């Protein structure tokens, strides 16, 4: 990992820890199933297999995505994170179907339940651990802009919700001896898991198709408006592409036509510095400098412009609606 960035090394260490954590929890949940013989507990244990499998693939995808750019992958390897999230979603979806099928089977051939109090303790401990680790992963994933870490964290948090429902159900069965609740709980958990898997697959496909991230775009536009310099006459054709944790930003920046190439380059460097200070270093900016046409004079804020062709009318506030189109603005 010598060629990896500090953030990539941190992500890999975090995913290794998550994988080890998932293996331990899987063992605990299967122990709870063999002790209680509960279908609802089995459904929780089966999902743990998905956690481990998805965690292993997520670790590999983080490792692969951290590889530096090369001749064959000039934009890096980050797209594999979307595949990882989709793979995890598909596994979760399959697990949901399996759990519901197992619950239906148990309705006709009910197992003998036992030691539900022990099952309560095991499930409660596993649920608490999942919540802590899931919350940590989502927080880390957002800070590193990693869809894989966020997906894995959300999966663990959804597992926590299932554990809470399981604890409630086991408690009801323990005190009331109404055991058919076990199968109902399994169907409910299976349905929740199906929905979680569907959302992850949908989000993965959306990112692979490069759907615009409106939240990121609006945040970027806020930064640009706040730090806008006098010579930044206009901007258009703004795009953000996500390659795993890396962001690629494209834009056309209108600058004074009479400035030297060195002066224009300094202005573009200023844009890059401002954006990276806010959004982090894992960003590539491709800024195309456009010379200002006479039509830009009414929105140009340069006070002492030596080449002004018409009077200044008003400053154009940059918005997502007027920055995305590939055309210069004019009044």
Among 325, 315, 316, which Cα is nearest to 236's?
A: 325
Instruction: Give burial (CB, 10 Å; 0-12/13-18/19+) of 318.
Output: buried
Q: Do β-strands 283-291 and 234-243 pair in parallel, antiparallel, or remain unpaired?
A: unpaired
* pLDDT score at 40: 66
Query: How far is C-alpha 232 from the geometric centre of its chain's CA atoms?
Result: 32
* pLDDT score at 182: 67
Q: Tell me how far apart the alpha carbons of residues 229 and 215 are, in angstroms, rounded to a whole number.
A: 23
The residue ranges of DSSP E strands in 143-223, in sequence order, are none
Domains of the chain: 6-208 (1.20.1510.10), 214-323 (3.30.70.1350)
Query: How far is C-alpha 138 from the geometric centre of its chain's CA atoms?
Result: 8
Q: Tell me how far apart the alpha carbons of residues 215 and 48 are, in angstroms, rounded to a whole number.
A: 32
Contact between 274 and 175 (Cβ < 8 Å): no
Beta bridge partners of 286: 250
Instruction: Give burial (CB, 10 Å; 0-12/13-18/19+) of 74.
Output: exposed
Instruction: Give burial (CB, 10 Å; 0-12/13-18/19+) of 311.
Output: exposed
71: helix, strand or coil: coil
Question: 135: which residues sit within 8 A by CB, 6+ positions away?
Answer: 153, 157
102 phi and psi, to 5 degrees? -65, -35
29 phi and psi, to 5 degrees? -70, -40
Per-position pLDDT tens, the chain of length 331: 556 667 777 888 888 888 888 888 888 888 888 887 777 677 677 777 877 877 787 788 778 777 776 777 666 666 777 777 777 778 778 777 877 776 676 667 665 666 767 777 777 788 888 888 888 888 888 877 777 788 778 778 877 766 776 677 667 777 777 767 767 777 777 787 788 778 878 877 777 766 667 778 888 899 999 999 999 999 999 988 776 667 788 899 999 999 999 999 999 999 999 988 887 766 778 899 999 999 999 999 998 898 999 999 998 889 988 888 888 887 7
* pLDDT score at 148: 75
Contact between 215 and 224 (Cβ < 8 Å): no
Q: Tell me how far apart the alpha carbons of residues 276 and 247 are, in angstroms, rounded to a whole number.
A: 10
* pLDDT score at 177: 73
Tokens 């809470």 locate to 164
> At how many degrees (to 10) do helices 116-144 and 6-36 cross?
170
Instruction: Give burial (CB, 10 Å; 0-12/13-18/19+) of 50.
Output: buried
């Amino acid at each position: 990992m010598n060629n990896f960035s500090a953030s990539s090394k941190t992500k890999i260490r975090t995913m290794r820890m998550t994988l080890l954590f998932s293996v331990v929890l899987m063992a605990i949940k299967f122990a709870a199933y063999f002790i209680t013989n509960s279908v609802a507990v089995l459904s929780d244990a089966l999902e743990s297999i998905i956690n481990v499998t998805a965690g292993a693939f997520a670790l590999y995808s983080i490792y692969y995505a951290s590889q530096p750019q090369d001749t064959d992958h000039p934009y890096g390897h980050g797209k594999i994170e979307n595949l990882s999230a989709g793979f995890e979603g598909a596994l979760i979806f399959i697990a949901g179907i399996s759990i519901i099928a197992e619950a239906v089977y148990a309705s006709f051939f009910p197992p003998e339940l036992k030691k539900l109090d022990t099952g309560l303790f095991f499930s409660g401990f596993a649920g608490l651990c999942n919540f802590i680790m899931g919350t940590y992963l989502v927080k880390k994933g957002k800070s590193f802009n990693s869809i894989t870490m966020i997906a894995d964290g959300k999966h663990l948090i959804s597992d926590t919700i299932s554990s809470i429902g399981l604890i409630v159900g086991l408690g009801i069965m323990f005190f009331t001896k109404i055991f058919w609740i076990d199968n109902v709980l399994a169907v409910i958990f299976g349905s929740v898991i199906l929905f979680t898997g569907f959302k992850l697959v949908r989000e993965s496909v959306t990112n692979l198709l490069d759907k615009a991230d409106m939240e990121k775009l609006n945040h970027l536009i806020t930064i640009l408006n706040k730090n806008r310099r006098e010579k930044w006459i206009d901007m258009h054709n703004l795009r953000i592409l996500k390659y795993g944790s890396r962001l690629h930003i494209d834009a056309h920046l209108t600058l004074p036509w009479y400035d030297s190439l060195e002066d224009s380059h300094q202005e573009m460097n200023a844009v890059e510095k401002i954006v990276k200070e806010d959004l982090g270093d894992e960003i590539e900016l491709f800024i195309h400098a456009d010379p200002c046409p006479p039509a830009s004079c009414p929105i140009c804020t340069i006070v002492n412009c030596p080449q002004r062709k018409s009077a200044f009318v008003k400053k154009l506030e940059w918005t997502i609606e007027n920055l995305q189109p590939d055309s210069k603005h004019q009044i």
